Chains A and B, each alone.
Chain A
Amino acid sequence: MARVRTGVRAMGAVLAAVLGASLVGCSSTGGKRAEERAARAAAEGRSAVNTPRWTFTMVTHSGDGDTFWDIVQRGAEQAAVKDNIKFLYSHNDEAQQQAQLVQAAIDQKIDGLIVSLAKPDAMKEVVAKATRAGIPVITVNSGSAESKAFGALTHIGQDESIAGEAVGDELNARGRKKALCILHEQGNVGHEQRCAGAKKAFDGQMQNLYVEGTNMPDVQASIEAKLQADKSIDAVVTLGAPFADAAVKAKRTAGSKAEIDTFDLNAKVATALQDKTLGFAVDQQPYLQGYEAVDLLWLYRYNRNVLGGGRPVLTGPQIITSKDAAELAEYTKRGTR
């Protein structure tokens, strides 16, 4: 018993210390309060329509805690507030699990389904089931080739090959000769397409480097080793915003002259673009993917409108350089770009 009591006492002491410290050391800049002020200043979310409260579910192939999908979700939530929609989100990076989540959404008799087709074959049957049950489906982000065949209304996203080619063209315009494409997810078809597209459009040499995306220090070390081993590399392309930062660090340590470019944006990338640490970023506007998906489902339910004329609606690629970055910095901070 005595030991238990000391444990409780110790815990109480720790709690008191934390509370005390937070009261004494106030910061007059930044932090939670600044965030709350900004949120209050932003428009209050109210629906702009008087349609019934429909339920839309989004099921993606995202892993846990993914920055990109967080922005997609924000866009979807914003549109849901405006369109008086109850928005549900679930995700799993295993094909079988993602299919089961779609099945669970169908069981709930929802009014609209948004799904990403990174593993189209695994999703085929369950998406067909949704359309059979009369649920309108919109595909986002990946699966532009399969979307129509699976019976979806529209696909919203970026064609990865086209995005890759845009990178190749931009590298040519910048006079690069030898580039490195960093793939942070072994087994991701979209990533392979990006690097293949870049290779196709790029006049110089392009090599692929696979890194362990879930392990940042390892990403940095791998890029470092490669840059040390080959001094002639003058461009490094990462496929996700968080990896650009690791590539910049690796470049410094390796003493390389390579330009670092990346797919996707985040607050750090925007700042790095402004101070020219990064060359350019290729954005596919994730916010737009989520927002448009919900909005188009609403349009379909309300007015049977379908966008795209049977073709994918593209949200990218958009090349962003230091010129545009200043404007976007504020939006990346609030987590919508």
Chain B
Amino acid sequence: MTTTEQPPAPAAGSDERLLHTSALRRLLGRPELGSVVGAAAVFIFFSIVADSFLRASSFGTVLYAASTIGIMAAPVALLMIGGEFDLSAGVMVTSSALVSSMFSYQMTANVWVGVFVSLLVTLAVGAFNGLMLTRTKLPSFIITLGTFLMLTGLNLGFTKLISGTVSTKSIADMEGFDSARKVFASQWTVGGVELKITILWWAVLVAVATWILLRTRFGNWIFAVGGEADAARAVGVPVIRTKVGLYLGVAFAAWVSGQHLLFSFDVVQSGEGVGNELTYIIAAVIGGCLITGGYGSAIGSAIGAFIFGMTSKGIVYAEWNPDWFKFFLGAMLLLATLLNAWVRKRAEATK
């Protein structure tokens, strides 16, 4: 099973899937092409209308904004290629940060203990999503909507029960905090630009996701279950394992984002994260993922997140009224998706 959009080495046999295609044709067939054009357009646009957008320090801010979305958008894109949604991704980030912080504080344990307990809990939530989906055969939209609501309630309820208030207590003075902060929330200054470590996490996650998608058997399974689950099962693709794996991927990224939240602010607000799940989905869709599954890319999700970061901060640099931000976002989502569809049609027509 080595049938992906990658050109395999010309092998024996005259299968049409193994034909050698030209580099340009291959480029046109990439899912993220439309979003690259969109990103360039947004960048040029804000460079013209906002003087402070092109400053080096501003670029650090935009990249940071993009990375906090992009870390989640990469596994969400994979999940969408696999034909499923995760509406609990936004609050899962908050849950992960809360578990980490409260476990360390209540047990007076080294902060790293809390961090690993949080990883286990978050992965358990991901596994719950995946197993409920494959066991009940209900749509993932419903399953994860339930998880989303339950987590929102658990976040508030548990925090209030344990801390007595709606935010956690500070763990900044505990052992292991400094080393954990280095891993999840440090920053370096490179030539006047402040780069946060989330940018590195983002790059690594996108690279890993891309490698999985294009170079491994699991990647083929993702495309297969997203394209046609029944056919995939018929040819021996482990559908259940693939989908649970995808939800675990989202949970892992939620854990990374949650630890970043915790270690950059050392206190977590229990009511946050609601609504971000849609942001991740939007980033994936702008990046060329089909909402119906079976098509998309991890790099596209990164470009989608970058467009998101540029727009959200560009509006500030351009000194516009932020009331219009959502309108812009919606318009951009439609334009990007239309562009994607058009590019894809052209690419398929010339095959």
Quick one: which of B53-67 are within 8 Å of A by CB?
55, 57-58, 61, 64-65
Residue A330, interface by CB 8 Å: no
Give a binary string over B53-92; 1 marks a CB under 8 Å from any A CB, 0 the rest: 0010110010011001000000000000000000000000
Q: A91-B322, A187-B156 are in contact. Are A104 and B165 (CB under 8 A)?
A: no
Residue B313, interface by CB 8 Å: yes
Q: Chain B CB within 10 Å — which of A101, A119, A122 has the most?
A: A122
Closest residue of chain A to B321 (Cβ to Cβ) is A89
Q: Which of B65, B265, B269, B322 contacts A187 (CB 8 A)?
A: B269
Residue B261, interface by CB 8 Å: yes
Closest residue of chain B to A93 (Cβ to Cβ) is B272
Q: A95-B265, A121-B266, A122-B267 are in contact. Are A188 and B64 (CB under 8 A)?
A: no
**B272/A108 in contact, CB under 8 A:** no
Q: What residues of B have a CB within 8 angstroms of the CB of A97 in the complex?
A: 312
Quick one: which of A186-219 are within 8 Å of B by CB?
186-189, 192
CA–CA, A107 to B53, complex, Å? 9
Quick one: which of A96-125 are within 8 Å of B by CB?
96-97, 99-101, 103-109, 119, 121-122, 124-125
Residue B170, interface by CB 8 Å: yes
**B322/A100 in contact, CB under 8 A:** no
Q: What residues of B have a CB within 8 angstroms of the CB of A186 in the complex?
A: 156, 166, 271
Q: Which of B52, B68, B170 contacts A96 (CB 8 A)?
A: B68
CA–CA, A276 to B55, complex, Å? 57
**A121/B265 in contact, CB under 8 A:** yes
Residue A47, interface by CB 8 Å: no
**A64/B57 in contact, CB under 8 A:** no
Known contacts A95-B265, A101-B316, A119-B267; 18 further A-B pairs (Cβ under 8 A): A88-B319, A94-B272, A96-B68, A100-B64, A100-B312, A107-B57, A108-B58, A119-B167, A121-B167, A121-B265, A122-B265, A186-B156, A186-B166, A187-B166, A187-B269, A187-B270, A187-B272, A188-B166
Residues in B lying within 8 Å of A, measured CB to CB: 52, 55, 57-58, 61, 64-65, 68, 156, 165-167, 170, 261, 264-267, 269-273, 276, 312-313, 316-317, 319, 321-323, 326
Q: Could you name 27 residue pairs across A and B whose Cβ atoms are closer than 8 Å?
A: A88-B316, A90-B316, A90-B322, A95-B265, A95-B272, A96-B261, A96-B272, A97-B312, A100-B61, A100-B64, A100-B312, A101-B316, A103-B61, A104-B61, A104-B313, A104-B316, A106-B57, A107-B61, A121-B170, A121-B265, A124-B265, A185-B271, A187-B156, A187-B166, A187-B270, A187-B272, A192-B166
Residues in A lying within 8 Å of B, measured CB to CB: 64-65, 88-91, 94-97, 99-101, 103-109, 119, 121-122, 124-125, 185-189, 192
